[in-house]
Amino acid sequence: MLDDFFVRALLVAAGVGCVAGPLGCFLLWRRMAYFGDTMAHSALLGVALGMVLGSSPVLGVFTIVIVTALSLLFLQRAVHLASDTLLGLLSHTALALGVVVLAISGSANGHSLLGYLFGDVLAVTRMDLAMVWVGGLICLAVLAYIWRPLVALTVHEDLARAEGSPVERCQIIYMILMAGAVAAGMKVVGVLLVVAMLIIPAAAAQSLSRTPEQMAVLAAIIGIISGGGGLYGSLVLDTPSGPSIVVMAGILFLISLLIQPISRALESA
């Protein structure tokens, strides 16, 4: 069954959706969507550098994404620019630099560049599948482990610290998890759309949840449905897989907006 490229793609897309949903909740809560976008955009530079240096692209992506996140944190303290200016600057510079380095390395023809930008999930190998699932499970386990202090510091950093939560450690671990999710999500929807996989399922889950935990679980489920449903849709309609997955997530978000008014109307009826 795993020999079928479509089944492999389905499993990878669903796996990434399942991890991206809960991780994305924090991007929403901490108003860090653009921060996530910047991390994702820098991933292309990671691929390019990985190729130039002859190491694996995944390692390159992982490293560059973390370096980008760290330099953002540093620049926010050191440079007198508004946060959104800084993010826009870094995000697009990293993306452009990635395209340039990729061109210099001569390893990107038009087709594969498009694959990096919008994903090429149908091309995933068994190795990719194994990495996404093993990595994804580890990621979810770690997230579950730091969940409570991470939620606490999201509500109020000083309060969490005063009550003994390991704030710095959790922030660093969260960033590493994000880097992993970006590296995996890149294969599915590409660097330009990775942040959509993080944010849209979480946003769809928000209006339907009463606790942070509910929202995370719901975001994971919506992420899985987006990945699977979007990919299936792309097969039926013969559309690009990555963008189809994101469109599916967008549709689920619209549906989530309708659920509350409808259920309220049903209750009062």
Partner 1 sequence: MGRVRLIEARGIRIRRKGRLLLHGVDIHVDRGEVVTLIGPNGAGKTTLVRVLLGLLAPDNGHVQRESSVQVGYVPQHLHLNSTMPLSVKRMMNLTGRPPSGAVEDALDETGSLKLLEARMADLSGGELRRVLLARALLSQPDLLILDEPVQGVDYIGEADMYALIAEIVARHGCGVLMVSHDLHIVMAATDRVVCLNHHICCTGVPQEVVGHDEFQRLFGTRAGVVTALYQHSHDHVHDPASVVQPACDEDAFPRMRSVEEVKDAG
Q: Which residues bind partner 1 (CB under 8 A)?
A: 28-31, 148-149, 151-152, 154-156, 158-165, 206, 209-212, 214-215
Q: Minimum CB separation from partner 1 for residue 246, in Å? A: 20
User: At CA 117, angle to CA 112 and CA 123, rounded to 5?
Assistant: 50
Which CB atom, from 26 or from 116, has the smaller least distance to partner 1? 26
Q: Minimal CA–CA distance to 72: which of 47, 48, 119, 37?
A: 37
Q: Minimum CB separation from partner 1 for residue 36, in Å? A: 14
Nearest 5°: phi and psi at 140?
-65, -40
Which CB atom, from 30 or from 99, has the smaller least distance to partner 1? 30
Count Cα neighbours of 114 within 13 Å in the Cβ-side half-sphere. 7
Which CB atom, from 7 or from 159, has the smaller least distance to partner 1? 159
Which CB atom, from 53 or from 73, has the smaller least distance to partner 1? 73
Q: How far apart are CA 209 and CA 12, in angstroms?
A: 26
Which CB atom, from 116 or from 253, has the smaller least distance to partner 1? 253
Q: Minimum CB separation from partner 1 for residue 85, in Å? A: 21
Q: Minimum CB separation from partner 1 for residue 116, in Å? A: 31
Q: Which residues of 122-132 are buried (b: 16+ CB within 10 A; e: fewer)?
A: bebeeebbebb
Q: Minimum CB separation from partner 1 for residue 209, in Å? A: 5
Q: Minimum CB separation from partner 1 for residue 138, in Å? A: 25
Which CB atom, from 156 or from 264, has the smaller least distance to partner 1? 156
Residue 158 class from Cβ within 10 Å (0-12 exposed, 13-18 middle, 19+ buried)? exposed
User: At CA 68, angle to CA 62 and CA 70, rounded to 5?
Assistant: 105
